[in-house]
Chain A
Amino acid sequence: MSVTSYVFGIVAAALILVVVVELLRRRHLRERHAIWWIIAGILALIAGVFPATLIWVSQLVGVEVPTNLVFFVSIAILFLVCLQHSSELTKLESKTRTLAERLAILELEVRERDTSRPDNEG
């Protein structure tokens, strides 16, 4: 592994962490959504700074090519994030739906009240 690729790995991992922390700091990201990205960033940083750990873990779980472990973990994290987003989307949809239903009833009630007031007749 050349020095360039060593530095590149560390910089990329650090960049992920910086962006996530910055978004959290500005409240553009909620903690429960950030958690997966933070985990991914920290893992990438560890593997970047100490490539030996990656080789050690690969041997531990029986993955012959360490890079494949990187791919596996990356895809697993992306998959979980995706799943979390689908679930959040479902919750949001059901909230929007409830709001729409309440709105329809409230509008009807306001209208009824308006028309039942004598000064608004006609």
Chain B
Amino acid sequence: MSAAFDKTLIVMPAFNEEASVAEVVREVAAKLPGIAILVVDDGSSDATTKQARSAGALVATLPFNLGVGGAMRVGFRYAIENGFDNVVQIDSDGQHDPTSVPELLATLASADLVLGARFAGEGDYQVRGPRQWAMVVLASILSRSSRTKLTDTTSGYRASGPRAVALFAEHYPAEYLGDTIEALVIASRSGLVIRQVPVSMRPRAGGVPSHNPFRAAAYLGRAALALVFAFIRPQSTYRVGGSV
């Protein structure tokens, strides 16, 4: 397992997470000894960079907010340029339990992209209402497209193997929801193998998920839009090795 650790980069997108980022970095470092951790500060206005650096992580600071997609692209580029084969994305709010990382990496041996799924049995993470229906519909569409059973397609806890890293470094979607939904479509359309591993999820350290019906409707609409355009985009958009 330690050989895989050498070649693995943990990427943590962080936007105004000064309260939790240092603790999460320390926890990841303690539970996965020797692994490289890159925190991408997504244009935070607080001390996220300082906190993450003091906890011993590598920190790339974006000059302004780009969203999770932009932050992850920094992670994928950094991984390629510094010889890392695998990238594991972990949220910096402490929601993802790093003990699942070895399992994600082990599954990566037979897949290119492994999702840590929140509803697959472990843990006690719950989402209700329209948001849940949206997630169910998304899951069934994306499962068909990737020819594997996926239950939690919007999970930000995921591991990418070498082929996925090469693809994502160039084409990781930057739009809202693109980073989760469209990334899966890009991966499956590019012939990558996607797998899902159940992971336990802890409640968010701060903030409550929104149950506002208007927000839920907007979420549904944007998810549908992201999905439709991900499917009708020309294949040439995802070619690896071209110029910008």
Contact = CB atoms under 8 A, between A and B. Distances in A.
A102 B78 CA distance: 9
B63 A97 contact: no
A101 interface: yes
B63 A108 contact: no
Interface in A60-112: 94-95, 97-98, 100-105, 107-108, 112
Contacts of B61: 104, 107-108
Contacts, number: 39
B244 A98 contact: yes
Q: Is the interface of B mostly helix, strand, loop or mixed?
A: mixed
A103 B40 CA distance: 12
A101 B64 CA distance: 10
Contact size range, B: 10 to 19
B73 interface: yes
B244 A104 contact: no
Binding site secondary structure of chain A: helix
Given A97-B66, A97-B70, A97-B174, A105 B60 contact: yes
Interface residues of A, number: 13
Contacts of B81: 105
Nearest to B70: A97
Nearest to A98: B244
Given A97-B174, A101-B73, A108 B66 contact: no
B120 interface: no
Interface in B57-100: 58-64, 66, 70, 73-74, 77-78, 81
A38 B21 CA distance: 55
A11 B244 CA distance: 45
Contacts of A101: 62, 66, 70, 73-74, 77
B59 A108 contact: yes
Interface string B192-230: 000000000000000000000000000000000000000
Interface of B: 40, 58-64, 66, 70, 73-74, 77-78, 81, 174, 244
Given A101-B66, A104-B63, 5 more contacts: A97-B174, A103-B63, A104-B60, A104-B74, A107-B60
